[in-house]
């Protein structure tokens, strides 16, 4: 039995921290609120620290340091390194190494550190309890050359304690004395750490479990606007896994992605530059490819045998027609990209709509022929 559970590889320090902070938050905060109530100051302080630390992870650790989706000056780097440390999610160097490994080997049981194929809890936080693999720090050689990243790597725990657990009670004390300090420690300090951590963990668990896969269904990564609400826009995870160097995760203008809006704003302020965007044609191409593959897989699975009801036959005929048109559009767009021929926005939009029509037709067919799906 002991062979199956690697006790000797438990990461005791990190595991204790995760468990203690969780129980302090779920027990301590209600007791505090029962005795002292909660005022605007406590809520505002919680939100300030939640946004500062959450954005430092998504904008700093993730999109800047891991994916280099834009360039940043010292101010943005330093701010995200300091408040990123206050999220207690390891140093930016270690975090980036794990995350690059995740992208490279996504869904692989052995090499993806938080692979969903090892179960929901493992992907969410189980992997953090163990040290089951050596970190391949060779994949962050570029970050090792950055003195600010290496400074944070050495001192991230001290910085984390000071910014996350000392600063909030100090601000609370200055505002309202001892009871406000205690509230700030529990709410803006401990509870906020737990909340930010689980929001990040959900990207590795729920964003690989619920949602749609409009760009690539060969991986488990999914797009979910609900998850985007809790993760500063990181919920559009299928897009992100398809185009990891794009500074946007919610690539459509209307998609909820406060991280991309902040990066855009910082660019206007001259604090960041060189924002990387995937050209629209390549995004549409991946949508067409995905829908084309799904239609072809469905047609192949039918093998010409369609359910005999008139509705099923008609729907299947429509799918055949639509998928032929889609395959033509796909070929045309692929050629245009290779030969660098410009395609008008209207044409791209029309092709995108034809992919959506195929999607609707597939949904209709699945509802008509549940047994054949």
- List contacts with Zn ion (CB under 5 A): 221
Question: For Zn ion, which is the closer residue by CB, 69 or 323?
Answer: 69
When the beta carbons of 191 and 221 are compared against Zn ion, the nearer one is 221
Q: Which is nearer to Zn ion, 106 or 184 (CB)?
A: 106
The four Cα atoms 48, 53, 56, 57 give a dihedral, to 10 degrees, of -140
Identity of the residue, 159 or 221, whose beta carbon is nearer to Zn ion in the bound complex: 221
Check: CB of residue 278 under 8 Å from CB of residue 243: yes
Which of 258, 239, 279, 268 is closest to 67 using CA atoms? 239
CA distance 368 to 307: 9
Task: Give the nearer residue to Zn ion in terms of CB position, either 76 or 221.
Answer: 221
Q: For tokens 């991946």, what's the residue? A: 286
CA distance 190 to 45: 12
Q: Which is nearer to Zn ion, 181 or 221 (by Cβ)?
A: 221
- Nearest distance from residue 353's CB to Zn ion, in Å? 29
Smaller CB distance to Zn ion: residue 221 or 283? Answer: 221
Nearer to Zn ion, 192 or 237 (CB): 237
Q: Which residue is nearest to Zn ion (CB)?
A: 221
State the minimum distance, in angstroms, from the CB of residue 78 to Zn ion: 22
Strands 272-273 and 71-72: antiparallel
Separation in Å, CA 209 to CA 14, 91, 123, 149, 266: 25, 27, 10, 32, 32
Nearer to Zn ion, 85 or 221 (CB): 221
Q: 216, exposed or middle or buried, with CB in 10 Å at 0-12, 13-18, 19+?
A: middle
Q: Phi and psi at residue 203, in whole multiples of 5°?
A: -65, -35
Question: What's the min distance (Å) between Cβ of 106 and Zn ion?
Answer: 6
Asked if 222 and 213 touch (Cβ cutoff 8 Å), the reply is yes
Nearest distance in Å: CB 237, Zn ion:
6
Closest CA to 58 of 279, 255, 263, 264: 263
CB of 262 to Zn ion, least distance (A): 17
Neighbours of 175 (CB within 10 A): 15
Helix H or strand E encompassing 320: helix 310-338
- The C-alpha atoms of residue 236 and residue 207 are separated, in whole angstroms, by 8
CB of 155 to Zn ion, least distance (A): 25
Determine the Cα–Cα distance for residues 201 and 196; give it in Å rounded to an integer. Answer: 9
Residue 2 DSSP label: T
Q: Minimum distance from CB of 116 to Zn ion (Å)?
A: 8
Instruction: Give, as one character, the DSSP assignment of residue 270.
Output: T
The token duo for 309 is 């009801």
Kindly state the tokens that stand for 111: 């090499």
The least CB distance from residue 301 to Zn ion, in Å, is 28
Q: How far is the CB of 62 from Zn ion (least distance, A)?
A: 6
- Please report how close the Cβ of residue 113 comes to Zn ion at its closest, in angstroms: 11
Q: Exposed/middle/buried for 276, CB within 10 Å: 0-12, 13-18, 19+?
A: middle
The backbone torsions φ and ψ at residue 101, rounded to the nearest 5 degrees and listed phi first, read -65, -40
Q: Which residue lies nearer to Zn ion by CB, 72 or 221?
A: 221
């Amino acid at each position: 039995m002991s062979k199956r559970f690697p006790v000797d590889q438990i990461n005791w320090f990190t595991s204790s921290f995760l468990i203690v902070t969780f129980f302090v938050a779920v027990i301590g905060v209600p007791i505090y609120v029962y005795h002292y109530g909660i005022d605007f100051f406590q809520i505002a302080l919680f939100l300030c620290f939640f946004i500062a630390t959450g954005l430092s992870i998504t904008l700093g650790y993730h999109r800047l340091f891991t994916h280099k989706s834009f360039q940043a000056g010292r101010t943005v780097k330093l701010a995200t390194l300091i408040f990123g440390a206050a999220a207690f999610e390891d140093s930016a160097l270690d975090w980036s190494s794990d995350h690059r490994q995740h992208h490279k080997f996504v869904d692989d049981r052995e090499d993806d550190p938080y692979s969903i194929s090892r179960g929901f809890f493992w992907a969410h936080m189980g992997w953090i309890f163990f040290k089951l693999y050596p970190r391949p720090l060779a994949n962050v050689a570029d970050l090792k050359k950055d003195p600010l990243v290496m400074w944070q790597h050495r001192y991230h725990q001290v910085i984390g304690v000071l910014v996350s657990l000392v600063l909030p009670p100090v601000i609370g004390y200055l505002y309202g004395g001892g009871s406000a300090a205690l509230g700030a420690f529990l709410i803006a300090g401990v509870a906020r750490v737990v909340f930010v951590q689980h929001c990040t963990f959900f990207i590795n668990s729920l964003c690989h479990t619920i949602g749609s896969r409009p760009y690539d269904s060969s991986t488990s990564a999914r797009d979910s606007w609900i998850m985007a609400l809790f993760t500063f826009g990181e919920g559009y995870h299928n897009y992100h896994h398809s185009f990891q160097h794009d500074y946007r995760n919610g690539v459509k203008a209307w998609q909820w992605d406060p991280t991309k809006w902040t990066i855009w704003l910082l660019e206007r302020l001259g604090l960041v530059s060189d924002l990387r965007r995937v050209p629209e044609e390549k995004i549409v191409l991946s949508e067409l490819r995905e829908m084309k593959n799904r239609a072809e897989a469905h047609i192949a699975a039918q093998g010409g045998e369609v359910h005999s009801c008139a509705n099923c036959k008609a729907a299947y005929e429509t799918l055949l027609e639509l998928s032929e048109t889609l395959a033509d559009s796909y070929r045309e767009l692929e050629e245009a990209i290779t030969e660098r021929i410009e395609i008008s926005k209207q044409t791209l939009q029309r092709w995108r709509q034809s992919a959506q029509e195929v999607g609707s037709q597939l949904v209709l067919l699945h509802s008509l022929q549940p047994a054949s799906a």
